[in-house]
Structure 1
Amino acid sequence: MTLCSSVLAILLSLTVINNCSTEENTDIMSKRVAPVISKAEEFEQKLPGFLSANKTLCVLLDYDGTLAPLCDNPANTVMDPELEKNLHLLAENPKVFMAVISGRGLKDVEGKVGIKNITYAGNHGIEIQSPDGSRQDYQLPEDVQKSYRSLVDELNKKLNKNGAWVEDKKVSLTYHYRDTASDLIEAQRKEAVEIIKRHGFSANQAHAAIEAKPPVNWNKGEAALLILKNNFGNDWKSKTSVVFAGDDTTDEDAMRALQGIGKSFRVATDPKIETYADFRLPKQELVHDLIRWLCQSSC
């Protein structure tokens, strides 16, 4: 074989390796129909050996639709008493680190969960508060803040009607239309999306609502990674076993960020839904079983 032939063969081999690597990465980071966990005993059956005594268990959780059932008015959501009890027990375990990452404002979700000495992230991770009360918020540019105020004003002026309303969370908002008559929903939803996008914000479909998020490269996934890095260092992957659970499209950012690292669970009734999560939970009550399993396994 000539020198040129040898070099060509090496280059072709490297190309094949790179292509395979790219395909593997693409596959790892792709959405798909996830396997289902439909009863309590399946957590142990489908996750044998995942929880390690030599690693800190990091439990990252969404609130609405995950820890608490969805409600017509977000102010009326409450956690099941048994789930709340087990959540407190889990948070008190010195071998467990817990964070709640919600689309709600930080103080709002902190008040709803009511557990001290855990990390809270509000507004999809834009606001982050450590157990000691210190903050590490993502600072929105001044022009984005100005656009946000204009967005809130326009939505309130034009679409705060027919049972729909604007939940102003100071840096992001949710346009709720759960109580709007079915024949009016689509027109109002479409107009809300148009207004949100015109102000430069992204419009994400939620449960009978539209989430308006600022045009910044920050989301629940970025927040989850920052929280883990801040608490366990750059080598957090070798020190922790990470669990994430959420029910909404905005939770997919965290599921994607943790894919191949931790284990995530998407609460969804749709059997055909595609997700970055490792498993689908077909009903919110299975989150109770997940927390109970984590409590028992981490003792």
Structure 2
Amino acid sequence: MPEKHVATVIQDLKGFEDNLPNRIDLSYPIAVLLDYDGTLAPIADNPAKTKMPVELEAIIHKLAQNPRVFLAVISGRGLKDVQKQVNIDGAIYAGNHGLEIEYPDGSRHDYELPKEIQKNYTDMVAELKQKVEKNGAWVEDKKVSLTYHYRDTPVELKDEQKQLASEICKKYGFRANQAHEAIEAKPPVNWNKGEAALYILKQKFGDNWPQVINVVFAGDDTTDEDAMRALQGVGCSFRISADPQIQTFADFRLPQQAVMTDLLKWIAGAYVS
């Protein structure tokens, strides 16, 4: 059974050079599965303001053009939103924590929510907007999941508002997860970033994908732990966190988002150069 632990920290390119050659067999292609916010791009005060660092963006475009590198972005954002932000041809995009997946040829896989859950979602959005969309907080409605952002709410009001938002989400049967200055509400179905990652890998490489492909996953949030758990023992995953004692399913911890550039640089050096 997968277990959480305090992961080994990697702080720079040398750390990847020291640790990854023993984990990744370069004779096999590599699947690179990545979160967006806080992973490919630093967290911003507003989701619309996020942007990938110039060097990281150049490297990931380079990776996407290599036939031995398979790229997928699995984000909590809505599908069209994350596609717009990343804008890399040839990648698979999974939005809403994997509830909607689109392939490079335009084909899709959408997790069909039961009618009752769809109605509860609509009612939940309406109540959140009525009761807690105030004092700088706002509801990001992604049609099947949502994020309640309270980053700009005055400090003395944050706890009360986020607590009420969480209670409203749970009242309608949705899972309320803590994110960066936000509450993420996901539908009560057995589908998450981990299930999405496994589905994408099986669709692309078959049921025996662990025998034919290397897999790397990186993320920075609690929802990314679902993918880290699913891939523990069959992939190599990285949790971005400044907390040296954080318990994670990931194999390694990256202390800040900037170290992602070094991870992608190592992959590019191994597969592209």
Q: How many residue pairs end up in the alignment?
A: 272
Q: Find the aligned partners of 1:49 and 1:38 in 2 and give their Cα distance.
A: 18
Normalised by the size of structure 2, how large is the TM-score? 0.98
**CA deviation vs aligned residue, 1:211-244 (integer Å, no higher than 9, x gap):** 0000000000000000000000111110100000
Judged with a 3 Å threshold, the aligned counterparts in structure 2 of structure 1 residues 218 and 176 are, in CA distance, closer, same or farther, namely same
**5 Å matches for 1:123-202?**
123-202=96-175
| 1:54 Cα offset (Å) | 3.0
- SS of structure 2 residue aligned to 1:117: coil
Question: Unaligned regions of 5+ residues in structure 1, if any?
Answer: 1-24
Letter in 2 for 1:115: I
1:296 is displaced (CA, Å) by 0.6
Asked whether 1:217 is paired with 2:171, we answer no
Aligned amino acid, residue 230 of structure 1: Q
State yes or no: 1:281 paired with 2:272: no
- Please tell me the residue identity of whatever aligns with 2:141: D
Instruction: Tell me if 1:97 matches 2:100.
Output: no
Q: Does 2:198 align with 1:234?
A: no
What secondary structure, in the 3-state scheme, does the structure 2 residue paired with 1:41 have? helix
Aligned to 2:28: 55
Structure 1 position 103, deviation (Å): 0.1
Quote the residue 1:41 is aligned against: 14
> Quick one: distance in 2 between partners of 1:49 and 1:283?
23
In 1, Cα distance between equivalents of 2:247 and 2:216 = 19
The corresponding residue for 1:21 is none
2:87 equivalent to 1:114:
yes
Distance in 1, Cα, partners of 2:23 & 2:132: 48
Distance 1:67 1:46 in 2: 21
Find the aligned partners of 2:203 and 2:12 in 1 and give their Cα distance. Answer: 34
CA distance in structure 1 between the aligned counterparts of 2:163 and 2:58, rounded to whole angstroms: 41
Query: In the aligned structure 2, how far is the partner of 1:162 from the partner of 1:53?
Result: 52
What amino acid sits opposite 1:197 in the alignment?
Answer: K
Choose which of 37, 43, 49 in structure 2 pairs with 1:76. 49
Which residue does 1:32 correspond to in 2?
Answer: 5
The Cα shift of 1:51 comes to 3.0
Query: Within 1, Cα distance between the matches of 2:192 and 2:28?
Result: 26
What SS does the corresponding residue of 2:139 show, helix, strand or coil? strand
Query: Which letter does structure 2 place at the counterpart of 1:141?
Result: P
Q: Which deviates further from its counterpart, 153-162 or 38-47?
A: 38-47
Distance in 2 (CA, whole Å) between partners of 1:184 and 1:52 is 51
Instruction: Give the alignment partner of residue 86 of structure 1, picking from 37, 59, 66.
Output: 59
Percent identical pairs in the alignment equals 61
In the alignment, structure 1 residue 256 sits paired with structure 2 residue 229: yes
The residue matched to 1:70 in structure 2 has which SS? coil
Residue 117 of structure 1 and its aligned partner are, at CA, apart by: 1.2
**Residue pair 1:60, 1:99 contacting (<8 A) in 2 also:** yes
For the Cα contact (< 8 Å) 1:162–1:181, is it kept in 2? yes
CA contact (8 A) 1:51 1:297 kept: no
What is the alpha-carbon distance in structure 2 between the residues aligned to residue 298 and residue 256 of structure 1? Answer: 26
| Aligned 8 A contact 1:91 1:118 in 2 | yes
Unaligned runs of 5+ in 2: none
Per the normalisation by structure 1, the TM-score is 0.90
Q: Distance in 2 between matches of 1:117 and 1:178?
A: 34
